[in-house]
Amino acid sequence: MIGINLNFNFRVNDVLNKRPFFLFFSIVLVAGIFPACSRNFKAVLPVQSTPQPNHSDPFQQNRRLGRGINLGNALDAPHEGDWGVVLQEDYFRLIKNAGFSSVRIPIRWSAHAGTNPPYTIDPVFFARVDWAVHQALTRNLAAVIDVHHYLELMQNPAANRARFLALWKQIANRYKNYPSGLLFEILNEPNGRLTPELWNGLLKEALAVIRASNPGRTVVIGTAEWGGISALNKLQIPPAEQNAVVTVHYYNPFHFTHQGAEWVAGSDAWLGTAWRGTPEEKTAVIRDLDHAAEWGRVHNRPIFLGEFGAYHKADIVSRTLWTRFVARQAEAENMSWAYWEFCSGFGIYDPVKKEWRAPLLYALIPE
């Protein structure tokens, strides 16, 4: 195995060092092989004409999500690549082979749509999302697509309501004939001026828009207040909605998971915070996740732990212990989960060395 890896690295460097050859190689690749690949690829697209079953069982759908990973910092950046991640076909293959059953694909639609009615989504961006969804579904990875980082909506819900619903109308129409392995998550981490009360109203409207074209699609609905477990008690889903998975995010203790995070003011002061799995530390995780699970039992809704992770500035032993404990505890509570995230600041894969960060991968998937 080592021999093969070394050989592979040598060949990549070799190609990069010979730029004229590389340029020629690229032209040949793009002009010749890529169209051939995409033709072949189209032949294995998910069968778009297959009608969806009228009702999926959301508990079964949640089991299908199982163990997942967020493809974060790619399509949720202002533009793909701005945050250092450009999705690769290989990522989906690696994720599937490592034993994951789903991917969550965060998407910043609001950066790729008109700002006046009818708020048309850029067709090039739509095609890119199609590609990512196909990469997942053709490998039998379930895929959750969301609306991520719609910052303007959080700041001014009233002024962005029509645009948000128009985005969902277009997304839902585009994917209405896709297989049931594609799930729609209405909005990532409602926060700010999008209060729990306003969110309850808006999610109801978005559900109506989605249901108009997707009566059988499983929809994922998160909590206000940044997707926290504590906001579950404020979440109201129309009782008639029977094909919903409820999602929460978990980053506690926050001073541990977000130590040194550049986007969290003051977090440098938390550097060095460890998580060693003491009885007290474990009890806190058990209590928090059980609160979410209990809400799910009372309301008869399956629970998806759609994000959890610890930033790379925490020590790797603590990250591994915490990640393993949260994942196993979620499973013990019959939750599906998706680790935040694949190959960036929380990442379990090193895209430069092209190798898994093994302790974190095994923490998530022990087998």
Residue 129 CA, distance from chain mean position: 13
Comparing CA positions, the residue from 233, 284, 225, 275 lying closest to residue 249 is 225
Does 337 interact with ligand BGC (rule: CB under 6 A)?
no
Residue 264 CB, nearest approach to ligand BGC (Å): 7
Alpha-carbon distance of 29 to 286, in angstroms, equals 52
Q: Which one, 27 or 316, has the nearer CB to ligand BGC?
A: 316
Q: Which of residues 253-272 bind ligand BGC (CB under 6 A)?
A: none
Residue 258 CB, nearest approach to ligand BGC (Å): 6
Does 189 interact with ligand BGC (rule: CB under 6 A)?
yes
Does 307 interact with ligand BGC (rule: CB under 6 A)?
yes
Q: Where does residue 140 fall: left (phi above 0), alpha (psi -120 to 50 degrees), or beta otherwise?
A: left
Active-site entry in 80, 189, 225, 281: 189
Residue 71 CB, nearest approach to ligand BGC (Å): 12
Q: Which one, 268 or 294, has the nearer CB to ligand BGC?
A: 268
User: Collapsing DSSP states into helix, strand and coil, what is residue 250?
Assistant: strand
Q: Which one, 188 or 243, has the nearer CB to ligand BGC?
A: 188
Size of the site for ligand BGC (CB under 6 A): 6
- Start-to-end Cα distance in the chain: 19
Residue 192 CB, nearest approach to ligand BGC (Å): 14
Residue 311 CA, distance from chain mean position: 16
Q: Which of residues 130-169 bind ligand BGC (CB under 6 A)?
A: 148
Active-site entry in 80, 185, 281, 307: 307
Residue 30 CB, nearest approach to ligand BGC (Å): 32
Does 315 interact with ligand BGC (rule: CB under 6 A)?
no
Q: Which one, 188 or 252, has the nearer CB to ligand BGC?
A: 188
Comparing CA positions, the residue from 345, 343, 190, 331 lying closest to residue 257 is 345
Residue 350 CB, nearest approach to ligand BGC (Å): 18
Does 225 interact with ligand BGC (rule: CB under 6 A)?
no
Alpha-carbon distance of 341 to 350, in angstroms, equals 11
Does 340 interact with ligand BGC (rule: CB under 6 A)?
yes
206 to each of 100, 129, 143, 337, how far by Cα in Å? 29, 20, 19, 24
Alpha-carbon distance of 156 to 147, in angstroms, equals 16
Alpha-carbon distance of 39 to 26, in angstroms, equals 19
Task: Provide the sign of the torsion angle of the four alpha carbons 45, 48, 49, 55, taken in this order.
Answer: positive
Comparing CA positions, the residue from 168, 150, 247 lying closest to residue 205 is 168
Alpha-carbon distance of 145 to 134, in angstroms, equals 12
Q: Which one, 281 or 341, has the nearer CB to ligand BGC?
A: 341
8 Å CB contact between 188 and 227: yes
Q: Is 189 a residue of the active site? A: yes
Q: Which one, 71 or 209, has the nearer CB to ligand BGC?
A: 71
Q: Which of residues 47-76 bind ligand BGC (CB under 6 A)?
A: 76
Q: Which residues lie near ligand BGC (CB under 6 A)? A: 76, 148, 188-189, 307, 340
Which active-site residues does the annotation give?
189, 307
